[in-house]
Structure 1
Amino acid sequence: MACPEKLTLTEVLTEIKMSRAAFYRMRARGQAPRLSKLPNGQVRVSRADLDAWWDACEERAA
């Protein structure tokens, strides 16, 4: 079984065209994609979680 793709926060921010501060404000409101924290403190977002978040954003906009 292939390992699911994990994106760095920088990659996510580039894709969604958002600043780090805006992303963390959304996260504080529970509106950002789910993050996974690595033992070294870095965070990752799974591609599946990011795609699901995009889909949910489109549904709310419709």
Structure 2
Amino acid sequence: MGSPRQYLTIRALCEELEVAKSTFYDWCAKGRAPRCIKLPNGEIRIRRTDFERWLESREVAA
């Protein structure tokens, strides 16, 4: 298995988190999604480092 990609597509992020694309777009609308990059062709990418930081910021104490 290779190393994780540096940039995630919305599809890859949703697959990794096991959530629907509509959930991701809802998070975006509410300002709760990880930072995104909009490419000139309109596609969205998420830096893996931003995604990891975003996940860590949502950790809760057990």
The normalised TM-score by structure 2 is 0.83
Deviations 1:25-56 (A, max 9, x none): 11111111011011011110000000001101
Task: Give the letter for the 1:25 counterpart.
Answer: D
Aligned to 1:51: 52
Structure 1: give runs of 5+ residues left out of the alignment.
none
1:1-62 matches, within 5 Å, as 5-58=6-59, 61-62=60-61
Report which of the two has the higher share of helix. Answer: 1
Number of residue pairs the alignment of both structures matches? 57
Following superposition, which runs of at least 4 residues in structure 1 exceed 6 angstroms of deviation? Answer: none
AA aligned opposite 1:44: R
Q: Which amino acid aligns with 2:40?
A: P
Q: Give the percent of matched residue pairs that are identical in Structure 1 and Structure 2.
A: 37
In 2, Cα distance between equivalents of 1:42 and 1:26: 17
CA RMSD of aligned residues (A): 1.3
Compute the displacement of 1:19 (Å).
Answer: 0.6
TM-score (norm 1): 0.83
